[in-house]
Every structure is written in C-alpha cells, then in structure tokens.
Amino acid sequence: MSSLIKLQGVSKTYRLGDNLIAALHAVDFTLNSGEMTAIMGASGSGKSTLMHILGLLDRPTEGHHWFLGQEVSGLSEAALASLRNEKIGFVFQSFFLLPRSSALQNVMLPLFYRGLPRALAQEKAHQALAKMRVAHLAEHRPSQLSGGQQQRVAIARALVGDAAVILADEPTGALDSETGKDVMTVLANLNRQEGRTIVIITHDQAVSQRCERVVTMKDGRLSAIPAEHVAMGDSKGGDRGSPPFGASKSVAFAQHKNKEAFPRF
C-alpha cells in the first residue's frame, strides 16, 4: 500500500487566555491508501484535533504532515482549501445538508466550488446518488428524507469528487442502531469493493469493529490495537455536534447559512 497521509512528531497546542493547552503530543501516524481506519477516544482525548489535522482543517504546532507525498504544514490557506475540496470528502454526524436545496443540489455543491459546468456536475451528482441507492430522492429536500437517507446523500456528496480519502466524524451518531449498521455497511462496501480510503471518528465499539485498523487517543497520545480489543471509551461519544472549526469554502457547503437555497452556476 502507498502512504496517503503521514504525520511525524505532530503536536498541537492551543492558547486559552494565558494558558497553553496541549491537544496532541508527538503523534506519529501513517494512513495507507485503501485502509478503513477508526479513531476512538473519550471526550477531550484529542481525536477530533487529529481529525482536523488529517483533514487539513488545522495545522500542527510542531512536526511534519505529508498528504499525497507533499509536505502541507506550510501551505497557504488557499492551497489547503484547494486540496481539501479536491482530495478530501467529509461526512458529519449531523449531515449538514442545505435545508432549502434538493438532495441533487447538495451533492452538486462541492463541484460548484471546483467550477465544473452545471451539466457535468448534475451528471456526476446523479451517479453518486445512484451509487448510494437514493437517486429516486434527487429532488427531495432534507426535511423530506429519513436520517439514513440524509446520511446517504451526505456520503454521496463526499464521493462525488473522487476524493482520495473520506473523513467521517461520528457518521452513525445521529442514527438509530439499525440505520447506523446500514450506513456502516455502505462505508465498508466503498472500502472493500472500490478501495476507498476511509477514516472514521467514533465512540462506538461496534463501528470500530467494522474497520480493519483501530487507533485510540488518550491525553493527546496515539496507540494502535486490534479492533476486537478496543474498549468502549466514552459512551456518551464526546466531541459531537458541530462541524470542525476553521473550515473554509471547501467544506462551507456543510455550514452554509445563506437563506437562498442554491448558488447558480
């Protein structure tokens, strides 16, 4: 397998008033193409900070970060945004679909930010929805969809640009257990049948056991153990609800607050 993401000696420190808060301590981590990896940990363990760095939403305070063979720690915000939009697909616990836009328009939106012609964006979005078995719901708004259907649309949005990696933050957290299993089957099939590289942040042992590799975060430090031996950790899940901080237009579709339903292009 080729290395898709590599962290070496990565630490992250935040300033809170006069205090410095260490979120990550000298983390070494390699994600190979085609892996399906779970990141587990209690609230405050550092797993969300690790996800933000993997997704180019935040920068390390110290250490090196390679993405597709390129050192990215020193790139400009514009360059990071371009990489995020072209190479990373995000799936969030709360879906973050635009409420006044159809499922089709929601899936098209990342392609809008890339500047694709409308006809081509529509074609690609229809294909992604069909892959997720929700093509028949293309004209429905999120309020007309079940939770599982909304998450399938969100996964289609993550897939539509042929991302190198999909980062899923508690993708089953807002779903009932059966619907959650269905969503995990979708992700597992994308990994096993198409070779998609997937990273899942989760507190749920059942979710982690669907992954071939599990890493755990505790006090900002990383450890790797077989999935079948992972402890439940924080049963409340921690780190839930809001999308990652620092997101720019490459993931702004997930936080879009404009009253108009969909940008014209």
* Rg from Cα positions in the chain: 18
Residue 199 scores a pLDDT above 90:
yes
**CB neighbour class for 229 (10 Å; exposed up to 12, middle 13-18, buried from 19):** exposed
pLDDT in tens, 79-96: 999 999 899 999 988 888
pLDDT at 230: 45
Half-sphere CA count of 56, side-chain side, radius 13 A: 31
Residue 177, SS3 per DSSP: helix
Residue 60 scores a pLDDT above 90:
yes
The rounded distance, in Å, linking the Cα atoms of 19 and 41 is 24
The rounded distance, in Å, linking the Cα atoms of 98 and 104 is 11
pLDDT at 225: 61
Check if the beta carbon of residue 31 is closer than 8 Å to that of residue 38: no
Catalogue all structural domains in the chain, each as residue range(s) with its CATH number: 35-57+82-224 (3.40.50.300)
Check if the beta carbon of residue 253 is closer than 8 Å to that of residue 106: yes
**Which residue in this structure is represented by tokens 């193409």?**
33
Torsion over CA: 135, 140, 145, 151 (sign): positive
pLDDT in tens, 114-150: 889 999 999 999 999 999 999 999 999 999 999 999 9
At 239, the amino acid letter reads D
Residue 39 scores a pLDDT above 60:
yes
Residue 99, SS3 per DSSP: coil
The rounded distance, in Å, linking the Cα atoms of 32 and 47 is 19
Q: Which residues pair with 246 in a beta bridge?
A: none
pLDDT at 226: 53
The rounded distance, in Å, linking the Cα atoms of 101 and 216 is 37
The rounded mean pLDDT for the chain is 84
Check if the beta carbon of residue 220 is closer than 8 Å to that of residue 22: yes
pLDDT at 249: 37
Check if the beta carbon of residue 154 is closer than 8 Å to that of residue 96: yes
Check if the beta carbon of residue 22 is closer than 8 Å to that of residue 49: no
pLDDT in tens, 217-263: 999 999 876 545 544 444 334 343 334 433 433 344 433 434 344 55
DSSP state of 244: P
Q: What is the mean pLDDT of residues 54-66?
A: 95
The rounded distance, in Å, linking the Cα atoms of 263 and 257 is 12
